[in-house]
A = this chain, B = another copy of it.
Amino acid sequence: MLTKTPHLFDDATQVTAGDSRWQGKTSEDYWAFVGPFGGATAATILRALIDHPQRAGDPLSLTVNFCAPVAHGAFDLDVRLVKANRSSQHWCVEMTQGGGEVSTLATAVFAERRPSWDHTQAPFPGATPFAQARSFPRTPMTWTHQYDFRFVEGEPSFYGTPSLSPPISAYSKQWIGDHVPRKIDMLSLMSMSDAFFGRVFLARREMIPFGTVSITTYFHTASEELADEDISHVLAVADAKIFHKSYGDQSGELWSPNGRLLAATTQIAYFKA
């Protein structure tokens, strides 16, 4: 079942169906510091849920807790429908490798997105068009090779001199698309939610030991609306509120180029500085 698909992202997030136990494998193409890129792990979990025969509705919320490093190779996903209501579902997913301890723990909510009163409160960030923005150079982490990051504001400077005098800013605005263009779907939104560079890198202006502990993404679009957008990149903004006692946060938004808010994400991450 794990066939090579045309796009590396689909290969990296491939799953093999089981009843309650699904299988996947890590991808060398989406590797980070000490394990797979968390966004690819989260997208793989989301794929297992979307592909699940009992799934109904669109992804509304996904929280992924990264409990332990994931090793190269195969993993199992224990996928459990915890509670199904008339128009929503609650899921729990546990990732293990070789029958060992849980490395990733996730909960998800799916829901039917019925028409309602509609209002977007957050302002569209706006930006220089994707085509006119400059691509960010590759980093040693292979997952960054799979994306085309085009910063409009707050481009990280990893190799400069750490400057800890104010103004310190952790804000950035950037286009994100797959390096090999791929139509944005729910899996893209989940993965791209974790495709911001650590806010502490920007605030400190240096690379330091860092790891996402927990990420939550809310999907603000129905699947068919997203398909109708027919886009291959999003405009993303991210910022941090605080760095305190070895943990810092991040909030982010993913927008369609024509100004629709597609997803919002928050995470808390460990850092050493």
Binding site for B on A (CB under 8 A): 60-61, 63, 65, 67-68, 82-83, 85, 88, 90, 92, 94, 101-103, 105, 107, 109, 111, 113-122, 164, 168-170, 203-204, 213-214, 216, 218, 220-222, 239-247, 249, 251, 253, 261, 264, 266, 268, 270-273
Contacts and interface: CB of A to CB of B under 8 A. Distances in A.
A102 B82 contact: yes
B101 A268 contact: no
A241 B266 contact: no
Given A67-B85, A111-B213, A251-B251, 7 more contacts: A65-B107, A90-B102, A111-B247, A113-B247, A216-B216, A218-B249, A221-B244
A7 B105 CA distance: 35
A120 to B, nearest CB: 5
Contacts of A60: 213-214, 247, 268
Contacts of A103: 83
B253 A120 contact: no
A118 B68 contact: no
A124 to B, nearest CB: 11
27 contacts: A60-B268, A63-B63, A63-B107, A65-B109, A67-B82, A68-B83, A83-B103, A88-B213, A88-B270, A92-B92, A105-B107, A107-B107, A111-B270, A113-B244, A113-B246, A113-B247, A115-B245, A115-B246, A116-B273, A118-B243, A118-B244, A119-B168, A122-B242, A216-B266, A220-B241, A220-B242, A220-B249
